[in-house]
């Protein structure tokens, strides 16, 4: 009897799970990176290692409940010891109409000389299956959004003074054979500082013959679905050059109208790219980093009017014992994604913590449980 009861239960479970898991009623969920701020408590430091990345571990197709993690990493070399406080912003989304593939691109190798703009764009190719996408859309649409980044200096453990940093993803395409391509780019500008000591072994200018470089990885969430079921609208936020300062934070109130033409739509917000760069009047334009910020938050969307509103913050500081001023030039691209799915749910969150320089931490992220 117990065997018969178990068999009957298995048949009933199979009958109810099958159509829902394979059809449009199954949920998928994803995590989107919407920015980072971090600040050193004791002193400003060079850009050596910096990472903030989200990863989805599992999704319940019945409810869309998501379990994942956020990893933050930072390094300052060997001297002096310090601790960084950080805050990372994210968007957790679950939907029955679109799916969320996740991939990691890199390393993107950036090599050059001190003071040069190290910039590179690569085309990355994968497949729907490799991203974890279960369906094959008839008229596919894809949008690439950031899920995180990792930056690591090469050739010099302590890294170099900061004059610019940026990453971005774009041009996601799904091809007839099921392959997926997208463009990923990275930008770093290491530079000498007006400070007398530019490296632990060097005084004054960094030797012209010494190579400088960084490796950059991008975590990407690719939103995939039928072209008739969702639409993406991007907006570019530009600031600067600001006034000369040693600490600046710009907060913008952003309003954006979507392009959806159907009823029953819902929406969420992602970030596709950002760049922060310094312009200075000194012979050496690099600066130590005390604080760095780029973030989007407080997203609100009205389905009736298709209007969205959110805040964007860009900031930088090099304040320390001796601080040299600079002007900040910044931009970020944010994407409003409207989906024809009344069941779509989103949640905005943040991860906060403090880590020692040269360390990192991983924090669990749960949504919809």
Tens digit of pLDDT for each residue in 338-368?
999 999 999 999 999 999 877 789 999 999 8
At 14, which helix (H) or strand (E)? helix 2-22
User: End-to-end distance of the chain based on CA atoms, in angstroms?
Assistant: 35
Residue 14, domain member (yes or no):
no
Residue 209, domain member (yes or no):
yes
Q: Name the DSSP class of 294.
A: E
Say if CB 145 and CB 223 are below 8 A apart: yes
**Number of Cβ atoms within 10 Å of the Cβ of 120:** 14
Q: Per-residue confidence at 284, pLDDT binned at 50, 70, 90? A: confident
Task: With a cut of 50, say whether residue 69 has pLDDT above it.
Answer: yes
Residue 271, domain member (yes or no):
yes
Residue 7, domain member (yes or no):
no
What average pLDDT score do residues 90-102 get? 97
Residue 5, domain member (yes or no):
no
Task: Give the sign of the dihedral formed by CA 203, CA 206, CA 207, CA 211.
Answer: positive
Give the chain's domain count. 1
Residue 93, domain member (yes or no):
yes
Nearest-angstrom CA–CA distance, 91 and 86: 17
pLDDT value, residue 15: 32
Task: Give the sign of the dihedral formed by CA 189, CA 195, CA 196, CA 197.
Answer: negative
Residue 2, domain member (yes or no):
no
* Residue pLDDT, tens place only, 209-266: 678 999 999 999 999 999 999 999 999 999 999 999 999 999 999 999 999 998 889 9
Task: Give the sign of the dihedral formed by CA 72, CA 76, CA 79, CA 82.
Answer: negative
Residue 264, domain member (yes or no):
yes
Domain limits at 307?
A: 27-367
* Residue pLDDT, tens place only, 110-165: 999 998 999 999 999 999 999 999 998 999 999 999 999 999 999 888 899 999 99
What residues have CB less than 8 Å from 61, skipping those under 6 apart?
A: 20, 21, 26, 27, 28
The model's pTM:
0.91
Q: Per-residue confidence at 79, pLDDT binned at 50, 70, 90? A: low
* Residue pLDDT, tens place only, 268-281: 999 999 999 999 88
User: What is the CA 225 to chain-centroid distance, rounded?
Assistant: 21
Task: With a cut of 70, say whether residue 17 has pLDDT above it.
Answer: no
Q: Which residues of 159-190 are buried (b: 16+ CB within 10 A; e: fewer)?
A: bbbbbbbbbbbbebebeeeeebebbbbbbbbb
pLDDT value, residue 12: 29
């Amino acid at each position: 009897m117990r065997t018969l009861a178990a068999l009957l239960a298995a048949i009933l479970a199979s009958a109810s799970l099958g159509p829902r898991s394979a059809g449009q009623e199954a949920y998928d969920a994803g995590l989107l990176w919407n920015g980072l701020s971090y600040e050193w408590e004791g002193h400003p430091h060079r850009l050596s290692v910096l990472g903030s990345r989200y990863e989805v571990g599992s999704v319940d197709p019945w409810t869309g409940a998501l379990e994942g993690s956020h990893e933050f990493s930072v390094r300052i070399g060997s001297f002096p010891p310090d601790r960084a406080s950080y805050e990372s912003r994210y968007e957790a989304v679950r939907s029955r109409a679109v799916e969320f593939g996740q991939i990691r691109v890199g390393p993107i190798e950036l090599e050059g000389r001190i003071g040069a703009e190290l910039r590179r764009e690569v085309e990355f190719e994968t497949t729907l299956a490799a991203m974890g996408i279960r369906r094959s859309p008839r008229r596919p649409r894809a949008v690439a959004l950031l899920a995180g980044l990792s930056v690591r200096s090469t050739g010099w453990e302590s890294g170099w003074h900061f004059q610019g940093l940026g990453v971005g993803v774009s041009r996601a395409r799904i091809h007839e054979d099921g392959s997926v391509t997208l463009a990923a780019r990275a930008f770093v500008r290491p530079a000498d500082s007006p400070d007398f000591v530019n490296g632990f072994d060097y005084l004054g200018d960094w030797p012209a013959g010494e190579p400088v470089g960084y490796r950059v990885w991008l975590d990407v969430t690719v939103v995939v679905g039928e072209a008739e079921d969702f639409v993406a609208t991007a907006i570019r936020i530009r600031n600067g050059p600001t006034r000369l300062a040693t600490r600046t934070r710009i907060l913008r109130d952003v309003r954006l109208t979507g392009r959806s033409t159907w009823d029953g739509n819902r929406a969420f917000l992602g970030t596709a790219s950002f760049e922060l760069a310094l312009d200075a009047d000194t012979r050496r334009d690099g600066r130590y980093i005390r604080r760095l910020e780029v973030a989007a938050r407080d997203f609100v969307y009205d389905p009736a009017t298709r209007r969205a509103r959110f805040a964007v913050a860009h900031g930088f500081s090099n304040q320390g014992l001796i601080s040299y001023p600079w002007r900040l030039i910044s931009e970020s691209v944010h994407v409003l994604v409207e989906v024809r799915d009344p069941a779509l749910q989103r949640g905005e969150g943040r991860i906060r913590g403090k880590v020692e320089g040269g360390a990192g931490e991983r924090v669990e992220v749960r949504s919809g449980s």
